[in-house]
Amino acid sequence: MSQGTILKDTILKNGLAHVMAAHSPLSARLVEEAGFDGIWASGFELSALYGLPDVSLVSMTQHLEMVRAMAEQSSLPIIADIDTGFGNAVNVIHAVKQYERAGAAAVVIEDKTFPKVTSLLADGRQELLRVEEFQGKIRAAIATRSNPNFLVIARTEALIAGLGEKEALDRGAAYEAAGADLIVVHSKQKTPDEVESFVRAWNGKAGIVIIPTAYPEMNEARIKDLGKISVVIYGNHAVRASVTAMKDVFARILKDRGIHNVDKDIVSVVEIFRLQKMDEVKANEKEFLA
């Protein structure tokens, strides 16, 4: 069974898939152990991992290699955040071939111009492609995939760009008409009202995907009440949690002038060995090393 099929079956079975961001094979493994339904291979998180702003500086090769590495270490479906598709429709064709071969379940392509600027940046430049040009990207992705269950997900940034609900709905409908399997609607409002209004007004057959980073009170009960949302993505919480923990531990070590206090509050080296599957290494050494 393909990873895309697994993701589609989860949506059909549960009505809603919970997908957590990851930026490394280790964080992907932790997402799976926590019990999420899928992994969001976040461009924002990978950019942060490299210490770079999320403005199309991370290359397709860098992102693709991380997706491939995560797929090797986790059995969960991976939704690859490929931003604008790394260029025009020709670039999208190449990207879809590569990400499908790498083991992703889906790609998300957004309707911004290249290079993009991260969505939640205050006063960030948010420029959108012409609808027809973005439809071409979606059609190119659909025509390229070898498995019809490899999901092509279109993301409209119309609300992010301040163009209003009607523009977002019109773009969503146009992208569905071009073949998109799901539609991501994104918002930077601090409450869910804007997204809830969009979802209530949505008449398409494609399910909606939301990324409620800016409006965290949008919980599962509230999502299910709307009835049209298929996937919720927790878009950057892995890297934010990592930074929170590292800043705290580093500060405590310097304050205490040693690790004697903090050591009991962090995972043991043995736990890291477990996550690295060192037991398999030991077993293989015992069996195969002469």
Instruction: Show which residues are catalytic.
Output: 54
Q: Which residues share a beta bridge with 208?
A: 183, 229
Angle (deg, nearest 10), helices 25-34 and 237-256: 110
In sequence order, what are the residues at sequence separation of 6 or more whose Cβ sits closer than 8 angstroms to the Cβ of residue 175?
A: 111, 134, 135, 138, 154, 156, 183
Rounded (5°) CA angle 89-91-94: 115
> Using CA atoms, how far apart are residues 15 and 290, in angstroms rounded to an integer?
53
- Give buried/exposed letters for 80-118 (b at 16+ CB in 10 A, else e): bbbbbbbeebebbbebbebbbebbbbbbbbbbbbeebbb
First to last CA, the chain: 39
Q: Are 153 and 181 in contact (CB under 8 A)?
A: yes
> Using CA atoms, how far apart are residues 98 and 67, in angstroms rounded to an integer?
10
Q: Are 97 and 60 in contact (CB under 8 A)?
A: no
Q: CA 215 from chain center: how many Å?
A: 17
> Using CA atoms, how far apart are residues 272 and 269, in angstroms rounded to an integer?
5
